[in-house]
Amino acid sequence: MINNFTNNAFLTFARIIKLRLPDNMVSLLNQIDNNKLPKHIAIIMDGNGRWAAEKGEERLFGHFHGVESVRNIVEGCAEIGISYLTLYAFSTENWDRPQPEVNGLMTLLAETLRKEIPLLNKHNIKLHIIGDMEMLPQFAVDALQESIDMTNHNTGLNLIMALSYSSRWELVNAVKKIGLAVEAGVINAAEINQETLENYLTTKSFPDPELMIRTSGEFRISNFLLYQLAYTELYFTDTRWPDFRKENLYEAIIDFQNRERRFGKTGLQIQQEEAI
C-alpha cells in the first residue's frame, strides 16, 4: 500500500495549520490509502451500559460519554473524507428498555443534535435521519427537524442517524408501500426487482455501507441494515463505544483496506479486474 504525507489530504492539512497529532495517529493515518477509503461506514455503537457498569455508574452515564465518541468519530470521518456515516443510535427494540433510560436517551439525542449544529456546519456535514419518526416524542422530532434543516445546505459528510430504526420494520414498511403501489397500478408486480425494493427503503439515497463496525465484543447485526449489509465488510472490536476514538476508526479502515472484496466472484477474477 503506497501512502505518504503528500497523498493524505488530512495529514497535509494538519501540517499546514501546524496541528500536533500524536505519533500513533500519524502512523495510522500514513497507513490509510486515500484512494481506497470506504465510501460509507456504518457503526453499531455498543457497550455504553457495560462501560458505565464497569465504573459503578448508571447506564445513562455511559450514553452520556458515548456522545463524546460520536463527536470524535463524526469529526474523524469528515477529516479523512468519508462520504457517508450511519450511526445506529436507537433501535425499534430499544423502546422496550426501562422508561427512565428511554427518556434519558431521547433527551440526550435531541439535545446533542441541536447543540452540535455549529460543529456540523463547521465540518460541512449534512444530517439525515432514518427510522420510524412517528414513535419519537414531539420535542425530539422538533430538535431533529431543526438540525436537518440547518445542515441541509452542506455538501460534505452525510451523517445518517438510525433512530427508532430496525431492518425488519423498514422491510415490512417497504413491502406495504410496494403493495399499495401495485394496487394503485403504479407498479407492475411482475416487474418488481431489487431496484424497486431499494427505492422504498429509508436508505434509497445512500450507497450500501462498505464497512460495518460493531464495538464492545458482540458478533451480531441486531436488526441493522440487514438488506444493505449484503456485501459489507464486518469489523468487530472489543472496545466499548465510550472508549472508541479516531485511532480505533483508522485501525478498522486499515483492516478493511487489507481485505479482498470478491462480491461472489473468484479471487483471480478480482485481480484481473484490478489489473485493467
Least distance (Å) from ligand FPP to the CB of residue 255? 22
Q: Residue 64 is inside which H or E element, if any?
A: helix 59-80
Whose CA is closest to 168, among 201, 199, 194, 141? 201
Under the binding rule (CB under 6 A), the answer on residue 48 touching ligand FPP is: yes
248 is catalytic: no
* Interacting residues with ligand FPP between 204 and 233 (CB under 6 A): 216
Under the binding rule (CB under 6 A), the answer on residue 63 touching ligand FPP is: yes
* Interacting residues with ligand FPP between 96 and 125 (CB under 6 A): 108-109, 112-113
Residue in 3, 30, 94, 173 annotated catalytic: 94
Contact between 136 and 92 (Cβ < 8 Å): no
Cα separation values, 121 from 113, 117, 151, 244, Å: 12, 6, 6, 23
Taken as a whole, the chain contains a residue count of 276
Of the pair 224, 241, the CB lying nearest ligand FPP is at 241
Under the binding rule (CB under 6 A), the answer on residue 89 touching ligand FPP is: yes
Contact between 55 and 65 (Cβ < 8 Å): no
Least distance (Å) from ligand FPP to the CB of residue 60? 9
Under the binding rule (CB under 6 A), the answer on residue 157 touching ligand FPP is: no
Under the binding rule (CB under 6 A), the answer on residue 67 touching ligand FPP is: yes
Whose CA is closest to 133, among 106, 96, 172, 168? 106
Of the pair 37, 162, the CB lying nearest ligand FPP is at 162
With cell 411482475, the residue in question is: 190
Contact between 157 and 77 (Cβ < 8 Å): yes
Contact between 112 and 144 (Cβ < 8 Å): no
Residue 155 exposed, middle or buried by CB count within 10 Å (0-12, 13-18, 19+): exposed
Q: CB atoms < 10 A from the CB of 164, how many?
A: 21
Least distance (Å) from ligand FPP to the CB of residue 3? 31
Q: Which residue is nearest to ligand FPP (CB)?
A: 49
Under the binding rule (CB under 6 A), the answer on residue 87 touching ligand FPP is: yes
Q: How far apart are CA 65 and CA 261, in angstroms?
A: 35
Least distance (Å) from ligand FPP to the CB of residue 69? 7
Under the binding rule (CB under 6 A), the answer on residue 66 touching ligand FPP is: yes
Under the binding rule (CB under 6 A), the answer on residue 94 touching ligand FPP is: yes
One of 29, 45, 174, 178 touching ligand FPP (CB under 6 A): 45
Under the binding rule (CB under 6 A), the answer on residue 76 touching ligand FPP is: no
- What pairs with residue 86 in β-bridges? 42, 160
94 is catalytic: yes
Under the binding rule (CB under 6 A), the answer on residue 253 touching ligand FPP is: no
Catalytic residue annotation: 46, 94
Residues in touch with ligand FPP (CB under 6 A): 45-50, 59, 63, 66-67, 70, 87, 89, 94, 108-109, 112-113, 161, 216, 241
